[in-house]
Structure 1
């Protein structure tokens, strides 16, 4: 039996959204939801946005997120999509992972990036996930088809 799957993603420029939609199309019985932040949380300039995110990480002060009321435990698997900023998942994902503590199913992440350090991303994601059951991390579009199977 297929796992009931929730795909959550944060997309700053639209690339992660496209990848999340592609995954959603490939997984039967999946739900797709965007994680959003208040307007003005980040800048239109990517470099300024990276600096804002690094400041949030250093201050351990992560942005509030907007996400429809979700019962995480209704799903067997939650896939979390994120751009990579300075080797980290985006900071709204940290807020999401904090809200997911207590979820008993499997968690996997996918990310979009131009030349990110995979090891750094994976380590930060797992650290932020804390007690969640992280089963895998897939990178970029090239390996997603294989990974989804």
Structure 2
């Protein structure tokens, strides 16, 4: 039986959104939802946004997010998409993972990047996910089909 899958993503420039939409078309029983930072959190300039995110990480003060009210436990698998910022998932993902505390299903992450430090991303994602059941992290859509099967 196919797993009921939720695809959540944060996309600053649109690349992660495109990948999330592609994955959504490949998984028949899936829902797709965007995680967004509240208006005014980040800058239109990617370098300034990166600095803002690093300041948030340093201060352990993560941004508020906009997301539909979701009962995460209605899903067997939640795929979380993010760009890579200085080896970290985008900071709205930390806020999301904190909101998912108590989720009993499987979690996997996919990311988009122009030459990211994959190992750092994986380590930071797993650390931020704390007690969630993280089954894997894939760059682009390399492992998505495998997870779904």
Counterparts of 1:95 and 1:101, CA distance in 2:
10
Q: Show the counterpart of 1:100.
A: 100
Q: 2:65 is paired with a residue of what secondary structure?
A: coil
Counterparts of 1:52 and 1:72, CA distance in 2:
29
- The Cα shift of 1:145 comes to 5.9
Q: How many residues align?
A: 148
**Runs in 1 of length 4+ with deviation above 6 angstroms?**
none
The answer to whether structure 1 residue 39 and structure 2 residue 69 are counterparts is no
Q: TM-score normalized by structure 1?
A: 0.96
Range that drifts further, 52-61 or 39-48 = 39-48
The answer to whether structure 1 residue 29 and structure 2 residue 2 are counterparts is no
Q: TM-score normalized by structure 2?
A: 0.96
Stretches of structure 1 that go unaligned for 5 or more consecutive residues are none
Q: Show the counterpart of 1:14.
A: 14
The answer to whether structure 1 residue 56 and structure 2 residue 93 are counterparts is no
| Root mean square deviation of aligned Cα | 1.1
